[in-house]
Structure 1
Amino acid sequence: MAEVTVKRAGEMVRGLFELLAPATDGLAAKDALARLAKTVPPTPFEAADYPKRPGVRRYERLVRFHTISAVKAGWMTKVDGTWALTDAGRAALKKEADPEAFYREAVKLYRAWHEAQVKSGTVVEGAGGEADIIEAAGLSVEEAREQAWEEVRAYLLGMPPYDFQRLVGALLRGMGYHVAWEAPGGADDGIDIVAYTDPLGAKGPRIKVQVKRLGSKVDVGDLRSFMAVLGDDEVGIYVAASGFTRDAERDARREQKRKLTLLDLGGLYRLWVEHQRNIPEESRQLLPLTPVHYLDRS
């Protein structure tokens, strides 16, 4: 890391923040890195590959490394391969224009976080640093997760709509719900799945699920059309592969009369990972996942 000064690290991270600031939903990591390389071009050292790993350019790894402090400082998030700024990150970007001072503040907050982890026993002092991780790992945990998510996302988006609906039904069963009815393939009356919390549907509320695999983000109009078919005591779950507009998410949060849950592709995937052991093997093949374990010391 000797070739990268604190000022240079700040230029990278602050440059990245300037790209992420207007992106309210964040940017895919690979897109953010590609755009950053144009606004903050790599130096000859950064543009070169690691000597022992031909084809692995230093620049992208260095940016990833130097964003660790920003993540631990609570300035940015990395979820399912998407990088986004928090409100604290936007405030820091606005407050400190000098790249070096900006980065030093992130490092200061990171060290405070690390010390708190040591005191709590969550991590052991001296048990490997980020520099060791970035130089030694052929593929970082972060990159592996991003690559895995991109493959899963592409698989789900390419799945036939009816199979996607079956996957949602299988997930509900794996979570302990009793699916009473599933719409046949080709039907489109707004409700795709009806489920209950008990086998007879006698105890809990009726659960109505709408599944949308194709199309654009679900907007307020789509959401209100779904809510119109929900009874006062019914629970609604809207699963949309393309996600939801901010206005739709806001309306769902503000809904007082009915219980309403929105699930985008990332939320669906996380629930599948959490409950897949309870999903029958035949249904599990709709989204066959194999866990791979990494030593994550970050």
Structure 2
Amino acid sequence: MNQELENLAPSKRSAAITIFATFNILKEAGGQLPGKLVIERIRETVDFTEWEKQVYEKTGYVRWESLLHFYTIDCIKAGFLRKNKGVWYLTEEGEKAIKLGPVKLLETASQLYRHWLADNKDPRAKKGKEVEEATELEENKTQTQKANINLLEDQALSGIKDFIRSKNPYEFQDMVAALLRAMNYHTPFISPKGKDGGLDIVAYNDPLGATTPRLKVQVKHRPDASIPVDDIRSLTGLLNKDGDIGLFVTSGYFTSEANRSARESHRHIRLLDIDNFIALWQEFYNKLSDEDKNMLPLHPIFFLGSNE
């Protein structure tokens, strides 16, 4: 451990190490990764002390994970990091900040966060001398609250994704069809087991399919893989009528080339990865039939937010 890290208080030292590891992990992954995987990779690569591995009695959270979530707020306000639907994104500024090293990176993020607070006329920005994490967490209740909510959101999304992962391909296909019905589409064709000619679901705006758009849907249950561009091109080839729209749904993600192909296609192609699917399931959950809700049952919980 270098001297700069040794001179930090234990909480700041832990945060500096894990934030720096987070940025490098995201960079190696191409700039984005589900938060759960970031945490797992940090756990595999960082040698934590017993103090860092301690579990908070009140919350049940591991200390280093709570510290990481707390200080990612600084990184987000600094413009180094983004979080959306359980996925963490490293910005261009964040990638450049890696060159600062762990200590300077954390200091810069915290300084930029204080500037952000000052610009928003938050009295917390006037705080002078740095204090130990326990005191800081107590004083800065809003940031602590945000960090805890982020942690809970990540845990909730991880639970939903694990549930979807446990399904077989035909069960996931049925979930996609259920979502389309909740969005007021009719689903006269849902592929049975066996060859389907490339289409898994056909969905219409009306029972007869007389009005456009008509959705031709490809579903892939690949939670541990990214959909390649060739699969998108195959779906494009099936859109042979005016008013046909291609919809590709996966329980994983799409490669950057696949996303680009869909954007640039002469046909209307819409891609739904696991995060988009879950967001739509949440949005239209109340419109699902009771039977369809049971495919992926959710229970909403409301937390106190903030005015930021």
SS in 1 for 2:52: helix
Give the conservation status (yes or no) of the 8 Å contact 2:69–2:151.
no
**Residue 204 of structure 2 corresponds to residue 196 of structure 1:** yes
SS in 2 for 1:21: helix
Task: Show structure 1 runs of 5+ residues with no match.
Answer: none
Specify the alignment match of 2:77 in structure 1: 72
- CA offset digits 1:29-68 (Å, max 9, x no partner): 3443454456554456434444x44964422211221111
User: Aligned-pair distance for 1:262?
Assistant: 0.8
Amino acid at match of 2:89: A
CA distance in 2, matches of 1:5, 1:162: 47
Specify the alignment match of 1:58 in structure 2: 63
- CA offset digits 1:80-104 (Å, max 9, x no partner): 444331222112224x34x443223
SS in 1 for 2:219: strand
Correspondence list, 1:114-125, <5 A? 114-115=117-118, 118=120
CA distance in 1, matches of 2:165, 2:18: 33
Amino acid at match of 1:105: T
Among 64, 71, 93, the residue aligned to 1:88: 93
Size of the aligned set, in residue pairs, is 285
**Residue 250 of structure 2 corresponds to residue 240 of structure 1:** yes
**Residue 24 of structure 2 corresponds to residue 18 of structure 1:** yes
Give the conservation status (yes or no) of the 8 Å contact 1:6–1:104.
no
CA distance in 1, matches of 2:111, 2:287: 44
Correspondence list, 1:17-56, <5 A? 17-24=23-30, 26-36=32-42, 41-42=47-48, 45-50=51-56, 52-53=57-58, 56=61
- CA offset digits 1:230-276 (Å, max 9, x no partner): 12531100011132222211211221x11101111111111000111
Give the conservation status (yes or no) of the 8 Å contact 1:9–1:66.
yes
User: Aligned-pair distance for 1:282?
Assistant: 1.5
The TM-score with structure 1 as length reference comes to 0.81
**Residue 148 of structure 2 corresponds to residue 140 of structure 1:** yes
Correspondence list, 1:100-249, <5 A? 100-115=103-118, 118=120, 131-132=137-138, 133=141, 140-214=148-222, 216-231=225-240, 233=242, 234-249=244-259
Give the conservation status (yes or no) of the 8 Å contact 1:197–1:203.
yes
SS in 2 for 1:238: strand
SS in 2 for 1:140: helix
User: Identity rate of aligned residues, in percent?
Assistant: 35
SS in 2 for 1:172: helix
Specify the alignment match of 1:279 in structure 2: 288
- CA offset digits 1:120-144 (Å, max 9, x no partner): xxxx867xx982349987x922222
User: Aligned-pair distance for 1:160?
Assistant: 2.7
Amino acid at match of 1:243: Y
* Superposed CA RMSD: 3.2
Amino acid at match of 1:76: L
Alpha carbons of structure 1 residues 162 and 32: separation in structure 2 relative to 1, 3 Å: closer
Give the conservation status (yes or no) of the 8 Å contact 1:134–1:140.
no
Give the conservation status (yes or no) of the 8 Å contact 2:228–2:254.
yes
User: Aligned-pair distance for 1:195?
Assistant: 1.6
CA distance in 1, matches of 2:136, 2:270: 38
